[in-house]
Amino acid sequence: MRKVALITGSAKGLGKKTAFMLAEQGCDIAINYVHSEQEAEQLRAEIEGLGVRSIAVRADISRREQLEGLVRQVNDQLGIVDILVNNAGPFIRERRMFADYDQEDILAMVDGNLVGAMLLDHQVLPGMRQKGWGRIIHFGFGHAAESRAWPHRAVYAAAKTGLVSFTKTLAVEEASYGITVNMVCPGDIRGRNKEISIQEARELSDGETPLGRPGSGEDVARVISFLCHPDSDFITGNVMDISGGLDPIRPWVVKRS
């Protein structure tokens, strides 16, 4: 029986690369998007070309009232969700002191990065428990497990470090049901690098990453696919940095001669 994978925010970027990799492993794929309908439909067609089923569902993860409908559509059209990858989450790249945020931004960041993931997990857990199998993946940031101060990123960091604790707790609570819960923490992977291969990334240089090259979408997707494998059932409650050694809070700059 094929597994059904729901990947939030998967029309582009890291979610798209993850969707492709899970589809190549034989999973039916539910693509989720908010604004990128054209990209989502194109991805759906490409995934179906791999011989699996796929649907594209519009839903904003930061809008609590839309989550139930998202899971219902996936259950009705593909079947009960076996794999949930919580990739979607708003990030404000502009550096800003916490006092300079307005209330709407604070609530949107917390809902999109913490509450939305928790509520979506809550929606899929009954089906996973019924099957006695499930994989839940959360997204964090490098060194999130250390809960360090991250000036100018206060809201995002608070939401993600809260998700660290939730990841570890849920992993313990659901282990006896055959459900694993892990977090992946990508490095600073930007723009088109989110959709390139590891081989393509090796042809580029990055002076901020100790490894010397930027990260790629494949770096992240291959870890997720490993965690979703049936034989990865002994790996749960982990927070994994996929960063090439980059510390986003205290960057290390390579000095070239």
Amino acid at 155: V
Longest dimension (CA), the chain: 59
Give all domains of the chain, ordered by start, each with its CATH number: 4-242 (3.40.50.720)
Give the global pTM.
0.93
Digit-coded pLDDT (tens) for 63-97: 889 999 999 999 999 999 999 999 998 888 889 99
CA distance 42 to 217: 18
Average pLDDT, the chain: 93
Digit-coded pLDDT (tens) for 144-187: 888 888 889 999 999 999 999 999 999 999 999 999 999 999 98
Q: Are 166 and 187 in contact (CB under 8 A)?
A: no
The whole-number pLDDT of residue 257 equals: 47
Residue where the block lists tokens 């992993």: 171
The whole-number pLDDT of residue 83 equals: 98
Digit-coded pLDDT (tens) for 108-126: 999 999 999 999 999 999 9
CA distance 197 to 200: 5
